[in-house]
């Protein structure tokens, strides 16, 4: 047994002496450089809709081939107290096989007390990590900008692969931040006539988008009016209630690209529309928990077997997109694959600055 005086001496030794010279060399050489910090202005000035679409399309291809590691999203609830909240922190991430980085992102939303401090209720960072060494390379202060870009990119990819070139009347139900990103990204697929409807903000959205994109936008009198006229319907409301009905849909065939539901409490598309559709998910293991599919499964009108495809399978050409005048629903909940893709492109571009 070691005497207590020996134990005291050993405890007083520096760690290197205890683990030996070999280990001390390894420690000294493991000093990674600190991650680079990119502020909001740098991020927003340098990343474009085009960057997002190109990288996210590749990520969907890889996702469908099982080449992306995408864990289920994590949520930390911050309850309100003298020192905290209320607020929610959503954590997503992923790794696209054979790419040089992986990404973890924190999206902090619904910090409603921030408005009393003259701060926005949401913020966010992406952490891009070297996939070779595991060392964090960059921290991107994006405050949802990169999330919005990658969300719009998924909307554009859904339009590119799940509509016909002749479908050029595009409705937007819900006209907030995501709607603008959908409208901008959709404009890269083809020119269209936009129709807007929302509880709030449709007029401002239509004016801003028509000026920015140089395409006509009108405000619909109702969601029904919008549905009757539209070939493609983007829904991006806050998901508190369903926003359209089956009878309202254009019988010539419609593609609904729904992105408002990303939580198990949300639902925009009625279960009977989902059941009647060629249903395409971004990631079925996720949409069955937090997307539109969840409510159709709960209503008992669909099973997992009724999922036609994941979007990446259509992008890869494994399954056709639009074939006739069917209803197509593309359920976009936002995947870690998209975050990994935009994280990679952000590092590639901004690390050169």
Ligand X SMILES: NC(=O)c1ccc[n+]([C@@H]2O[C@H](COP(=O)([O-])OP(=O)(O)OC[C@H]3O[C@@H](n4cnc5c(N)ncnc54)[C@H](O)[C@@H]3O)[C@@H](O)[C@H]2O)c1
For the chain, the 3-state helix, strand and coil shares in percent, each to the nearest 5, are: 40, 25, 35
Query: Least CB distance from residue 204 to ligand X, whole Å?
Result: 9
Q: What is the largest CA-CA distance in the chain?
A: 88
Token readout for 85 is: 């909240």
Q: Which one, 143 or 236, has the nearer CB to ligand X?
A: 236
Q: Which one, 137 or 342, has the nearer CB to ligand X?
A: 342
Between CA 147 and CA 339 the distance in angstroms is 7
DSSP single-letter state for residue 247? G
Q: Which one, 131 or 295, has the nearer CB to ligand X?
A: 295
Closest residue to ligand X in the complex (CB): 176
Contact residues toward ligand X (CB under 6 A) are 147, 151, 173-179, 198-201, 236-241, 243, 259-260, 262, 266, 332-334
Contact 172, 195 (CB under 8 A): yes
Q: Which one, 26 or 204, has the nearer CB to ligand X?
A: 204
Query: Least CB distance from residue 284 to ligand X, whole Å?
Result: 15
Query: Least CB distance from residue 133 to ligand X, whole Å?
Result: 30
**Given the structure tokens 């937090």, which residue do they identify?**
290
Query: Least CB distance from residue 90 to ligand X, whole Å?
Result: 9
Q: Which one, 125 or 137, has the nearer CB to ligand X?
A: 125
Query: Least CB distance from residue 330 to ligand X, whole Å?
Result: 11
Q: Which one, 144 or 160, has the nearer CB to ligand X?
A: 144
Q: Which one, 131 or 290, has the nearer CB to ligand X?
A: 290
Contact 205, 234 (CB under 8 A): no
Q: Kindly report the CA angle at 155 between 153 and 157, in degrees rounded to 5?
A: 70
Q: Which one, 6 or 72, has the nearer CB to ligand X?
A: 72
The 3-class SS string of 120-166 reads CCCEEEEEEEECCCCCEEEEEECCCHHHHHHHHHHHHHHHHHHCCCC
**Which ranges constitute the DSSP H helices of the chain?**
4-12, 15-19, 21-29, 40-46, 49-64, 145-162, 177-186, 202-213, 223-229, 271-276, 284-290, 292-298, 311-315, 336-350
Contact 70, 63 (CB under 8 A): yes
Q: Which one, 133 or 241, has the nearer CB to ligand X?
A: 241
Between CA 219 and CA 240 the distance in angstroms is 22
Query: Least CB distance from residue 185 to ligand X, whole Å?
Result: 12
Query: Least CB distance from residue 163 to ligand X, whole Å?
Result: 19
Query: Least CB distance from residue 147 to ligand X, whole Å?
Result: 6
* Residue 92, SS3 per DSSP: strand
Exposure on the CB side of residue 129, measured as CA atoms within 13 A: 15
Query: Least CB distance from residue 150 to ligand X, whole Å?
Result: 8
């Amino acid at each position: 047994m070691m005497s207590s005086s020996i134990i005291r001496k050993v405890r007083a030794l520096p760690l290197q002496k205890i683990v030996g010279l070999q280990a001390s060399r390894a420690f000294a050489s493991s000093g990674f450089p600190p991650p680079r910090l990119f502020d909001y202005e740098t991020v927003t000035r340098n990343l474009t809709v085009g960057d997002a679409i190109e990288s996210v399309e590749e990520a969907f291809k890889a996702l469908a081939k099982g080449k992306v590691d995408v864990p289920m999203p994590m949520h930390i609830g911050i309850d309100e107290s003298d020192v905290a909240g209320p607020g929610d922190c959503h954590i997503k991430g992923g790794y696209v096989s054979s790419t040089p980085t992986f990404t973890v992102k924190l999206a902090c939303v619904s910090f409603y007390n921030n408005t009393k401090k003259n701060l926005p209720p949401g913020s966010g960072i992406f952490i891009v990590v070297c996939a070779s060494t595991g060392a964090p390379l960059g921290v991107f202060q994006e405050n949802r900008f990169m999330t919005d870009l990658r969300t719009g990119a998924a909307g554009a990819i859904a339009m590119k692969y799940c509509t016909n070139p002749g479908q050029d009347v595009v409705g937007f139900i819900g006209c907030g931040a995501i709607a603008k990103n959908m409208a901008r990204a959709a404009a890269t697929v083809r020119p269209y006539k936009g129709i807007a409807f929302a509880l709030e903000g449709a007029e401002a959205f239509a004016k801003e988008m028509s000026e920015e994109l140089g395409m006509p936008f009108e405000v619909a009198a109702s969601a029904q009016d919008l549905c009757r006229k539209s070939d493609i319907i983007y829904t991006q409301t806050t998901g508190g209630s369903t926003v359209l009905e089956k009878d309202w849909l254009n019988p010539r065939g419609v593609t609904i690209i729904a992105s408002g539901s990303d939580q198990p409490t949300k639902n925009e598309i009625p279960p009977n529309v989902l059941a009647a559709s060629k249903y395409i998910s971004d990631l079925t293991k996720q949409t069955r928990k937090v997307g539109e599919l969840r409510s159709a499964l709960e209503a008992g009108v669909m099973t997992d077997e009724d999922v036609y495809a994941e979007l990446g399978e259509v992008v890869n050409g494994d399954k056709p997109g639009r074939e006739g005048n069917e209803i197509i629903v593309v359920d976009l909940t936002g995947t870690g694959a998209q975050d990994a893709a935009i994280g990679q492109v952000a590092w590639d571009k901004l690390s050169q600055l």
